[in-house]
Amino acid sequence: MHELIRSNKRRSALLVAGFVLVVTLIGALIGWLLGGGSIVMTIVALVIAAAVAFASYWKADAIALRVSRARPADEHEFARLHNLVEGLCIASGLPKPRVYVVDDPAPNAFATVRNPQHAAIAVTTGLLDQMNRVELEGVVAHELSHIRNYDILVSTLAVTMVGAVALMTDLAIRTMWWNGGRVSRSGDHADRNNPLAYVGFGLLILAPIIAKVMQAAISRQRETLADVSACQMTRYPPGLISALEKLQADQTATHSASTATAHLWIEQPMSGLGDDGRLQGAHRWFDTHPPLDERIALLREL
């Protein structure tokens, strides 16, 4: 189990490093296509993306809770939930996060955190209705693992990279459209029939898609890490396995979720329901969560 946790952390680090490399290469490609005149534009795009990411990270918990229409969980009405959270926090050495409930019949849960001292977990009423104590403990441990592993920081970095790539490519394509292509250092237009220019233009179009796939890959790695960490926390994998099996059997969409918060939930809240057609494989490239059957199979091997 410890080796699997280290392996997932290494893979996440490699994906983040790959993200940085992609952003750097896209900036270099833009500079080449525009004749070296895009350095300022690239810097501006990165600064804007970083500023947006910093603001989002600082207010991520409040935004996610508000968008999901979460309300504070009353300690008397939801005593079982509070007891589970307190017990797991004491066992893992984490401060108790704020606890919220989302009025939604679909079983699901998410955590949002700036750091362990400013964290919150939210569960739907559907989850509380369908899970027994052991299963609910597995779900809560999964969300606490996200808090302990600082997953929101990694996710915010991934979103930043996607935003930077999208912003740079959009500005570059607009500049190329109005300026007529790459401009040489002497000020004359370069040969527009240069095959490399078309290759570069095609890469600019594909860059946001590549970045989005990499963002989804990072989210999937963090979900797998949280599953394994949760079993380490509870020392009882069958609890989380049973919870994931119930989530797999339930086909109710989480109405409180949105595309902006989809990566936070324990289960893919919207997309993936009924995606069994010819494009099923392509759809999974953009999924923020691994398939539940793969997660269950992995936990059975622990």
Confidence (pLDDT) at 282? 52
Helix H or strand E segment including 38: none
Select the more confidently predicted residue: 188 or 300: 300
Residue 187 has pLDDT above 70, yes or no: no
pTM, rounded to two decimals? 0.73
Closest CA to 148 of 98, 193, 113, 192: 113
Catalytic residue among 135, 137, 143, 267: 143
> Is 143 part of the annotated catalytic residue set?
yes
- CB-based contacts of 138, cutoff 8 Å, min separation 6: 230, 231, 234, 236, 239, 240, 241, 242, 243
CB atoms within 10 A of CB 273: 11
77-86, 185-194, 247-256: range with lowest mean pLDDT: 185-194
pLDDT band at 150 (very low <50, low <70, confident <90, very high): confident
* Both tokens assigned to 226: 């949280």
Confidence (pLDDT) at 279? 46
Sheet with 109-115, strands from edge to edge, namely 70-72, 98-102, 118-124, 109-115
The average pLDDT across 173-179 equals 64
How do residues 76-102 score in pLDDT, each as one tens digit?
Answer: 999 999 999 999 999 999 999 999 999
CB-based burial, 171-196: b 16+ in 10 Å, e otherwise: bbeebbeeeebbbeeeeeebeeeeee
Residue linked to tokens 């394509």: 173
